[in-house]
């Protein structure tokens, strides 16, 4: 589950950085300085997300190779990672640390609510999937014992 959460975190960071930082140009990772610093912070975020994504997929491939991938738990971790990044970004980066807002020049409240609500829905999805997969490892042991 942890490896897939890592992939989810990196993927949501990529979506955030590509869509909201580059395409829509709503904000940068760090908006409390010059444009050069803001662009550098986006580059560092992008570099970190790519490293985490690649490492996550290598670890994922290793799980598959060893036959130890628990698919339902993996999906749970993936959704928890997606939502965890989004909620962390919305509450910690946007509000607590004030690194940036979702969007400038408008009332941020609807954007903040949508941002955190979207992440919360992803977390709930991950929790439901985790609950459904809670016996996945035991099923694998039972299947191996009956073979």
Q: What is the pLDDT along the chain (147 residues), one digit of tens a residue?
A: 899 999 999 999 999 999 988 899 888 888 888 889 988 988 999 999 999 999 999 999 999 999 998 999 999 999 999 999 999 999 999 899 988 888 888 998 999 999 999 999 999 999 999 999 988 764 553 344 434
Give the chain's length: 147
* Residue ranges covered by each domain of the chain: 2-146
103 half-sphere exposure, CB direction, 13 A CA radius: 15
CB-count exposure of residue 67 (10 Å: 0-12, 13-18, 19+) = exposed
pLDDT at 80: 98
* pLDDT score at 137: 63
**What is the per-residue pLDDT for 31?**
82
- Output the pLDDT for position 105: 86
Greatest pairwise CA separation for the chain in angstroms = 64
């Amino acid at each position: 589950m942890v490896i897939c959460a890592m992939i989810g975190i990196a993927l949501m960071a990529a979506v955030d950085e590509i869509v909201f930082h580059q395409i829509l140009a709503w904000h940068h990772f760090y908006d409390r300085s010059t444009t050069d610093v803001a662009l550098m912070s986006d580059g560092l975020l992008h570099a970190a997300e790519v490293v985490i994504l690649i490492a996550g997929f290598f670890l994922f491939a290793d799980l598959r190779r060893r036959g130890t991938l628990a698919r339902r738990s993996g999906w749970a971790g993936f959704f928890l990672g997606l939502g965890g990044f989004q909620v962390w970004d919305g509450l910690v980066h946007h509000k607590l640390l004030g690194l940036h807002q979702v969007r400038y020049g408008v009332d941020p409240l609807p954007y903040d609510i949508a941002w955190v609500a979207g992440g919360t829905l992803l977390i709930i999805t991950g929790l439901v999937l985790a609950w459904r997969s809670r016996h996945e490892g035991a099923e694998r042991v039972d299947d191996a014992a009956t073979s």
